[in-house]
Structure 1
């Protein structure tokens, strides 16, 4: 296979045939779909604020001054619907406080209770637990009169622990304790991450030497501290994730039935038959980072030729959507070449990712890079997943690579 020089550290970052390793054209150039920096992915917002008897203002969920990022079903009846990890809502206002109106679909168990991070004026996030029994939540109150910003970040995935749709939510609006909303300024830089439980931040807020005894909980799974969100934050970029635990490129974990990640890429909200189809023009990334393959290779049975074929086809599909975006084929850090003898899933998976990328390079696509995160070391998160500290190390190494490749 033809490929250029690689650099080793926590990870391998290699330009692939046709790439010079320098800055790539921006996805925001004239030939790319236009961006809506203020409204986010839901660009056709509407609705006026409604004065309430208590002196507050009711803000409709699709107000043009409410911005959504990440994967969102913008057209769902009743208000935008959230499913994928990392979906976020941004509000800028003049006043003293803001409340959230939200419909939650969680189950209330340790695996199906949903959590959000709430950040006010760029401060440290505060944990918000939601429940189907409640519709109104205080995001901030008692602030000094003036201009403020609030971000609501979805920490968990759409179907935690396999409970389909238990991670869904619908934004019904806001209650403003103030005088008016202001436009939100979103970053010009945009990153998208496609992945599995690693990208979801599965079990990352635990450190243990006995991961076989610590199973999934939604409280200790935080996509805000996963490597993708951390990388975007380091680079001052908007973040979007298409991530679902247990899913693969050609085969799900242990052969379990269900949509593969390339199929999930087309939806705005997974496990919702009424959700609108996702239109790539809603969010045009500067780079798409694909960390998929762990579930294909983590148990015996992968068809390696099928994996290479599907991976190459997915890269070609992404290139069709985003002609000028950088594509990054990533892998790790959960696979290794530990026993059983003869399986070598880490080596085989890396070889097959490279084969898929080389197939695209031979087809003339020179805007692809490869990143291999080295196998993790203890302690571990839940069910052998990487800890928040491991995610931070991944972001520390990935961010400068992207910065160089994108000329940021």
Structure 2
């Protein structure tokens, strides 16, 4: 048998997987070694206190103190066991379960927080609320990216759609005094940006990555120019800062810990919940989703059964732009209010990474967006408690997590077969 040959497998194993990728076990091992170094060799004394309730909560949960050293040792052992289990799974040509990656990540985060916050208190509800707030635009962007790439068009222009949605929603919301009208304006702005991407990539067969990068640069420059020349001189009229109010859901918002996080939000956050459910159902359970996926996997076969490939791609890229435009509206109508130059700060590219990390699946991409949002907010919380982690590393943290996630934790991935490839009708 040659070194690269696949040994004979039982029928059940062959049905599961015929190739193996060691990326996930290697990534697990790297994080386990990091845990040994920081939580073990560089351990810190004292307790890290996790505050689970805010003042005025219906049910006030007690604070949970965790000894930094003891928690670190337990986490190291559990991470090592998870790494061994992942290696055994891969050696048997079985995939590493998604739940194992989730559990591994949660354990590492608990150990890291116990180590970094030794002698301090971490407000868990505040950490989670901030993480969700930073994740919402990423969720919209990731959903738009999934739809666009599933239909065969690489959507690098998510950043431009974010900026266009944020600018338009702030200006129209300020002019009309209605956040709802501003939200509709963000939808239209996202669609208009996606029209440009669709026209050049589908009709004129221009390289989709190049078109996306150019669109991002153009929208950034255009919104920056309009901000300095139009919005800034007339802030009291064109950039007032209209926002959606917080709408607590009765009963649900009183659930300890998760209630204030998920059910005490504004309309755009609730729309994100609905969008995830609708896109997931429609993509895999409807005729529309079947046609969309067929065009993204094998456009020639779809064409032979009567599906108009160009039209299907055009309108679904436009839909993706509308969803991304909602994410842009969150930066203004759902968060800070007024528009600021380049306020999206590269979030569109992080959303694109969430698409890859999520293997072009709406649920997985949403979980990836939540992970990146958590990493972004973690730097703020650790900075506020004077953590020993260097501030420069805290600023790098969201992007380090992104790199590790895309390069290591996702294992072997394959995007839609025709994504990024123009279709020429024969």
Regarding TM over 0.5, the answer is no
What's the TM-score, normalizing by structure 1? 0.27
**Structure ID, larger Rg:** 2
Higher-strand-fraction structure = 1
- Does 1 or 2 have the higher relative contact order (CA < 8 Å, sep 6+)? 2
